[in-house]
Amino acid sequence: YPNYFPSLLQLENDVVHTLAGLLQGDAGVVGNCTSGGTESIMLAVKAARDKARAERPGLGEPEMVLPHTAHAAFHKAAHYLGVRPVVTPFDTQTFRADVEAMRAAITPNTILLVASAPCYSHGVVDPVPQIAALAQEHGLPCHVDACVGGIQLAIMRGLGMPVPPFDFSVPGVTSISVDMHQYGYAAKNASALLYRDRALRRYALFCCAATTGYAVINPTVLSSKSGGPLAGAWATLQALGESGYRAIVREVMGATARLTAGVRAIDGLRVLGEPDMCMFAFTSDTVNLFELDDELTRRGWWLQAQFSAGGGPANLHLTINRSNVAHVDALLDALRASVAALSSRGPGEAGDVGALGAEVARLMAAPGPDTFAQIAALAGLQPGAMPTSFARINAVLDALPDPVVDALLVEYLNSLYG
């Protein structure tokens, strides 16, 4: 509570003011710090939902329109808040949102349009000006998820690097989520949600006096939260300053350029889209991506496997930060060696992907009480045990419909915890 801890109130206001400046907000921009991007996004969705309820009494089931490339946190927020996610296609060459598809998805129940800066999966920034203009045209809020990219992109712009418009300089952008614990290099649990004005933030707040205890009033989801991450974020922003962040961004973007060029130079690999910052994904038409992921893991490298979706192929994702800069050449050496190793031998743990997909399709064609167990066995998932390799698991999951993957992974996760 700010009356008990006025120093934390000052720290929070300082952090919000700094972030608003980076994101080209005017004096009217306000915000609050949260535990992470998911909480920031949840509050943005709540504000949009409650604003719509207050202004449109006949509103049906609230809907938000978001590209397929939007972060899963929006689906989580929708799940918790009773909002229906309306997912729209993306351009399968650029991996940016399809604005006309978003236009077609708007209904009288739409409460929010979503854009990413960048989308986590491929590191590309959506066409924010067009999406925000569409939102204005329909009198809707537009939230920009800049959790991972807000600080990095702002510093890049200050260095004269090409950055698509994405922040409060864009008319129609009404809120932005931005993490300090991503490319602000603060400790975890440090994010913020910025609103263009106090009027919108009012709908995110919660107050309850209908109790025998004290009145509860919260600007964020959490009531009790540590001041440690906030103090750490404030200290990091102050310690690094503009010059410190600029030095880091130069290093990181230089490393990213070397990595993308190195990946493109490996026969059989290709980078997906044209990444706008220091994260990207690549795929292959000649080697099994999930086998490649396991091969790299055996060599001491951890990349992130991403499933095929919306017409985009399965791929491996890289996020580059300051700690990775010194290891670019070693990673490229490992990647070249791994591709060569896979190319010289037959199918590995994932086996014949076509046959695996056919078996998954057979099981799904006539589901019964044992189908989940059969699919888990096919993938090699053992209840209560952590797998040591993932190629076969990922190949099976990639062949399944999304709702089945969700249900299967929920059952597996439920088996891990006591």
**pLDDT tens per residue across span 122-142:** 999 999 999 999 999 999 999
Task: For the chain, list the domains and their CATH numbers.
Answer: 6-237 (3.40.640.10), 240-343 (3.90.1150.10), 353-416 (no CATH)
> The tokens of 13 are what?
């206001």
Strands in 125-184 per DSSP E: 142-145, 175-179
What pLDDT score does 353 carry? Answer: 66
> What is the residue-averaged pLDDT of the chain?
95
Higher pLDDT, 34 or 411: 34
* Burial (0-12, 13-18, 19+ Cβ within 10 Å), 365: exposed
**Rg over CA atoms, the chain:** 23
Average pLDDT over residues 85-93: 98
Q: Could you tell me if 259 and 331 are in contact, meaning their C-beta atoms sit under 8 angstroms apart?
A: yes
Higher pLDDT, 383 or 119: 119
Higher pLDDT, 150 or 369: 150
What pLDDT score does 350 carry? Answer: 60
- Measured on CA atoms in the order 42, 20, 205, 9, is the torsion positive or negative? positive
pLDDT tens digits, 400-410: 899 988 988 88
Percent of the chain with pLDDT over 90: 82
What pLDDT score does 384 carry? Answer: 78
Strands in 68-222 per DSSP E: 84-88, 110-116, 142-145, 175-179, 191-195, 206-208, 216-218
Helix (H) or strand (E) holding 318, with range, is strand 315-319
What pLDDT score does 347 carry? Answer: 67
- CA 129/CA 271 separation, integer angstroms: 26
Strands in 72-213 per DSSP E: 84-88, 110-116, 142-145, 175-179, 191-195, 206-208
Rounded to 5 degrees, φ, ψ at 212 are -75, -10
Predicted model pTM? 0.95
pLDDT tens digits, 15-41: 999 999 999 999 999 999 999 999 999
